[in-house]
Amino acid sequence: MKRKTLALYLALVLALCLLPSAGLAVTGFEESSDADAAPAPALTASDGSPNLGLLSDAGAFFEDHFALRNELVTAANTLTSALFGVSSQDSVIVGRDGWLYYADSLDDYQGTNQLSEREVFAVARQIALMQEHCYESSADFLFAVAPNKASLYGEHMPARLKAGEESSSNLRRLEAALEEQGVSYVSLMELLGSQRDQGSLEGGALYHKRDSHWTNEGAAIAADALLEALGAEHKAYAVQPAQTRRDFSGDLDRMLFPAAPTLEDELYYEGWPSFQYCGEVESNFDPQISTVSEQGEGSLLMYRDSFGNALLPFMAECYPSAHFSRSVPYQLSADIAAYGAGTVVVERAERFIPNMARNAPIMQAVPLAELSALEGAQAVEPFSVESIQQGAELTTLTGELPPEALEATSRIFVCLGGELYYEALPQCGQDGSQQFVITLPSGLFERYGGEVELLAGSGAPADGLDFVELSGAQQRAYDAACEAFQQAAAALGPQEEPIDPDAPVVEVSREKYLDCDGSGHGTLVITYSNGTTKEERF
C-alpha cells in the first residue's frame, strides 16, 4: 500500500513537472501578459550573424510562454495574495482593500534612493533649456509630472511599508527647482491632490484600484489644466455628463491574474473627443502617433509615457495637427522641424524622473547671448569627449567631467574658437558620473576646427542675468551661429526629394521606446533610408 501511495505521489509530481512542456502539444505557446515577455528566439542576430545566445533566448521564451502559464500564474498569485498579502511578481505590490501598486514607485513612496541635489538640478536645467529651445523655434512649451498612484492614495499601501516625507520627495524638490528655473509647469500633484476623493466613480478615486494609472476622469482633469495653461480653446470634459461601464482591465491586475482579471468601472463622456488617427494605430501607447482634428488651431508635439494614453484623446481634439511621441531621449530639434510644432508638451510619470537625469534630449543648442552667465566660470578638463554625428546637419558632443569641478547647481558651458558660447545639457550617469551633452550644427565645428573649451560655473549673478553688449567678434560669431541654427532646423524638416528605388538601403536612425513598467525593456525602432522601419525588443 505504501509503495502504491509513493508511486502515485511520484507520478503526480512528475505530471505537474511535465505539464508546462507537455501541455504545449495541446495549447501551443501561451501569450504572456508581461510587458517585457521574451520574444521568440531567432537563428540570426540583427546584423545577420549567427545568434550565439540562441539557447538562452529559447529558455527565456519558454519561461514566458509555457503551456497553461496564465492559469498557473493566476492560481499562484490568488493563493499568495489571499494568504500573505504579497504577489509572486516582483513588479507588483499587493495593497489593502483590493488596491495594487507598481513596485518601481516604492522608492518615491518611502523616500529612499532619492536623487542627489545635482541630479535634481540636471533634470530642471534640461527642461529649462528645452523650453528655451522651443521659444527660439517660436513654439510654446509646457511640462507636467503625472503623480504616482501611491503618492496620492498611499493609505491603501501595505501597512509594513512606511511612507517617507512628501516634502523631500524627488517630485517636490524638482517642482522647487523648476520654479527657480522659470519653467512653464503645471503641478498635477497639487491639482489631483485637491480632488483626490471627489471622483464620480465608486470611492471617488481618480486612479484605478488595479491599474497604475488615472481613470478617464483623472486624465480629463489633467488635460483641462494643461490646455488651460496653454491658452488652447477646449471643452472641459470632466464636468460633462458621462456613462459608467464596468469594462476596464488594469495593467497590474492582468500581470497578477492574467487568466481571470477583475474588471473595474470606467467613465465615458458624452460627445467623446473628436479626432482621427493618421495611419494604423494599435493602441494609444504606440511609439509614434499622429492625429488630425477639425477643432482648435496650431500644431502640437507631445512627449508622453503610459499616462499619456488616456490624455491623448483630450489633447488631440484641440489641435488640427498633433504628434505624440514616446521617443527617449527626446528628439526635440528634429521633431519640431518635422511636425511644424507650435506647441510642445512634455508629460512624465513621477517614477520616471530619475530617468530624465540620465537621458538628456537631443536638441540644437541656442547660442549664449547673456554672457554674464559666465561670471566666475572656470575651465574644466573633461575625462572624455565623444563626437556623434546626427545625420548630415548636426553633431553631438558628449563627455564626462570631474565631479569635483561641479557644484550642485553648476551650469556647463562650451566655447568654440574662443568667441562663441553655448550651454550644454547636464546629465548624470547611473554610476554617479557627471556628464554633458551638446548638439550643434556640424558646420560650426568645422569652422572652428574642432577647438572646444569647457567651463563650469554657478550661472547667473545673485541679482539675475544681464544681457551685455557683445564685442564685434562675438556679435559676428553669434549671428553666424543663429544662421546655422535656422539652416539646420530647416534641413531637419520634411524633405521633398523622392526616394531613389535603386539606392542602397542603409540605416538612418534608432530610437528607443521604454515600456511603462520601469523594467528597462522596450522597443527599438530602426528606420531605413527607403522609409521602412523595423522593431526589435530589448
Structure confidence by residue, pLDDT tens digits, 461-488? 444 444 455 565 566 666 666 666 666 6
Q: Quick one: 19 exposed, middle or buried, by C-beta within 10 A (0-12, 13-18, 19+)?
A: middle
The sign of the CA dihedral 490, 492, 494, 499 is positive
**Alpha-carbon span 177 to 168, nearest angstrom:** 12
Angstrom distances, CA of residue 159 to CA of 96, 366, 395, 491, 509? 8, 50, 52, 57, 47
The mean per-residue pLDDT over the stretch 66-88 comes to 62
What does the block give as the cell for 519?
523594467
What does the block give as the cell for 214?
488615472
Provide the pLDDT for residue 516. 52
**Alpha-carbon span 484 to 67, nearest angstrom:** 59
The sign of the CA dihedral 373, 334, 518, 58 is negative
Provide the pLDDT for residue 466. 47
Amino acid residing at 335: D
Element (H, E) at 10: helix 2-22
**Alpha-carbon span 448 to 36, nearest angstrom:** 46
Residue 261 has pLDDT above 50, yes or no: yes
147 within 8 A of 188, measured Cβ to Cβ: yes
**Alpha-carbon span 284 to 275, nearest angstrom:** 13
Residue 287 has pLDDT above 60, yes or no: yes
Provide the pLDDT for residue 448. 78
Residue 529 has pLDDT above 70, yes or no: no
431 within 8 A of 386, measured Cβ to Cβ: no
The residue ranges of DSSP E strands in 320-469, in sequence order, are 321-325, 343-349, 378-379, 384-390, 394-401, 411-416, 420-428, 434-441, 452-457
Q: Grade residue 234 by pLDDT with cuts at 50, 70 and 90.
A: very high
Q: pLDDT tens digits for 264-277?
A: 999 999 989 999 99
Provide the pLDDT for residue 458. 81
Strand partners, 248: 264
Q: Quick one: 192 exposed, middle or buried, by C-beta within 10 A (0-12, 13-18, 19+)?
A: buried
Place of cell 558660447: 421
The residue ranges of DSSP E strands in 204-329, in sequence order, are 242-249, 263-269, 276-277, 288-292, 299-303, 321-325
What does the block give as the cell for 311?
490624455
Provide the pLDDT for residue 445. 78
Q: Quick one: 37 exposed, middle or buried, by C-beta within 10 A (0-12, 13-18, 19+)?
A: middle
Contacts of 160 (CB under 8 A, 6+ apart): none
332 within 8 A of 492, measured Cβ to Cβ: no
What does the block give as the cell for 284?
494609444
Q: Grade residue 217 by pLDDT with cuts at 50, 70 and 90.
A: very high
Choose between 57 and 171: higher pLDDT. 171
What does the block give as the cell for 126?
534640461
**Alpha-carbon span 402 to 379, nearest angstrom:** 12
Q: Grade residue 238 by pLDDT with cuts at 50, 70 and 90.
A: very high
406 within 8 A of 118, measured Cβ to Cβ: yes
The mean per-residue pLDDT over the stretch 321-347 comes to 95
Angstrom distances, CA of residue 96 to CA of 84, 112, 155, 242? 12, 22, 8, 29
* Helix pair 216-230, 308-316: axis angle to 10 deg: 50
Q: Grade residue 521 by pLDDT with cuts at 50, 70 and 90.
A: low
**Alpha-carbon span 86 to 78, nearest angstrom:** 10
Choose between 529 and 148: higher pLDDT. 148
The residue ranges of DSSP E strands in 278-363, in sequence order, are 288-292, 299-303, 321-325, 343-349
**Alpha-carbon span 336 to 498, nearest angstrom:** 22
Provide the pLDDT for residue 496. 47
DSSP collapsed to 3 states, 144-156: EEECCHHHHCHHH
Distance of CA 373 to the CA centre of its chain: 30
The mean per-residue pLDDT over the stretch 88-109 comes to 92
Choose between 30 and 258: higher pLDDT. 258
Provide the pLDDT for residue 67. 47
Residue 434 has pLDDT above 80, yes or no: yes
3-state secondary structure of 2: helix
- Ordered alpha helix ranges (H), 340-424: 353-357
Q: pLDDT tens digits for 339-389?
A: 999 999 999 999 999 999 999 999 999 888 778 888 889 999 998 888 888
Residue 121 has pLDDT above 80, yes or no: yes
Q: Grade residue 86 by pLDDT with cuts at 50, 70 and 90.
A: confident
Amino acid residing at 383: F
Q: Quick one: 183 exposed, middle or buried, by C-beta within 10 A (0-12, 13-18, 19+)?
A: buried
- Measure the CA angle with vertex 495, ends 493 and 500; round to 5°: 150
- Average per-residue pLDDT for the chain: 83
Residue 163 has pLDDT above 60, yes or no: yes
Lowest average pLDDT, out of 61-75, 121-135, 149-163, goes to: 61-75
**Alpha-carbon span 273 to 333, nearest angstrom:** 29
φ/ψ (deg, to 5) at 289: -135, 130
